[in-house]
Amino acid sequence: FVTFFPHLVAGPIMRPTELVPQFEQPRRANANMILFGLTLLTIGLFQKVVIADGLLAPIAEGVFDSPKVPLTLDAWAGVLAFAGQIFCDFAGYSTSAIGIALTLGFAMPDNFRFPYAAVGFSDFWRRWHITLSSWLRDYLYIPLGGNRHGPARTYMALMGTMLLGGLWHGAAWTFVVWGGLHGLYLSVERWLKGRFGGWRPNKAQLFGLALLTFMAINVTWVFFRAKTFAGAGTILGSMVGHAPSGVPLLPGFDLLVAFTVIAAIFFSHWAMRDTTLEAVIQRTSAWVLAPLLGLMAFLVIIEQGRGNAFIYFAF
């Protein structure tokens, strides 16, 4: 067209070769990027294969997939185990993907920033599944009005965003309730901030708020994991001590593993909540990091073959 009808084209005539886009040069990873990427890959696989699948998945399945009513301690162990499982499963996947990309010369943003140390639910969603929460904010919350049209419209935007976020995970009412609870949490938090915005908690109070946030998040995980409302109601009833026909579902060792691993995850998140995984790795001595990574790799290898598919592959 340009060749035969140049008088119809405004501006200088472009040759066909000039119309071809100029692609960037291939990415090249240097030695530091490769080593750091392999470090992230090892940590991610350890989270997924060893912690999520090897330690926590059998405990969560033993509670949520049982037709029997669990005792209170068993119910809490199952819910906490699932909280750790879904974090280590999805964060392990994300960390592995970031590590692989880094070995190829691509730098990808973090998708998790120690979410179980969040103080409040808006802080939780700034730390959990950051790519999804950013998308929900930019393409649902802000178009629905955000916080620009008064409190009532803000609460409606929060509820609508989180309800749709729940449906994004699957066409089931349990996911809708999961999203609705998060919308309710965010709305209540915004109301409390408007009423007590001048309060500045100290370190101990911040820790208490983080623990309260974590416990409230675990309530939502019940609906995320349970297949039916009846199953969720049974677990929640046992968690608050209403289990007249409850039976022990987990051996003592599984109870110990569940509470120990979740305590380790929570306290490690709290200790590192104001930093990044990359910064922690860079500050750690090579004499400590190398044996630790070697142990992680060894545990991944001996656990190989007993793992499950990534939970978020279903969404």
Q: Residues with catalytic annotation?
A: 169
The CA-atom distances, in angstroms, between 185 and each of 32, 34, 72, 103 are 42, 41, 24, 39
The pair of structure tokens assigned to 201 is 């908690």
Going by C-beta distance under 8 Å and a sequence separation of 6 or more, which residues neighbour residue 302?
A: none
Going by C-beta distance under 8 Å and a sequence separation of 6 or more, which residues neighbour residue 25?
A: none
The residue written with tokens 């490690």 in the block is: 268
The residue written with tokens 């209403």 in the block is: 242
Angle in degrees, CA 16, 19, 22, rounded to 5: 130
Nearest to 213 by CA among 185, 233, 247, 236: 185
Phi and psi dihedrals of 134, rounded to 5? -65, -40
Alpha helices in 46-172 (DSSP H): 57-64, 72-103, 121-127, 130-136, 151-169
The CA-atom distances, in angstroms, between 9 and each of 18, 19, 42 are 15, 14, 56
Going by C-beta distance under 8 Å and a sequence separation of 6 or more, which residues neighbour residue 314?
A: 170
Neighbour count for residue 145 (Cβ, 10 Å): 16
Phi and psi dihedrals of 122, rounded to 5? -65, -35
Angle in degrees, CA 121, 126, 131, rounded to 5: 130
CB 55 within 8 A of CB 257: yes
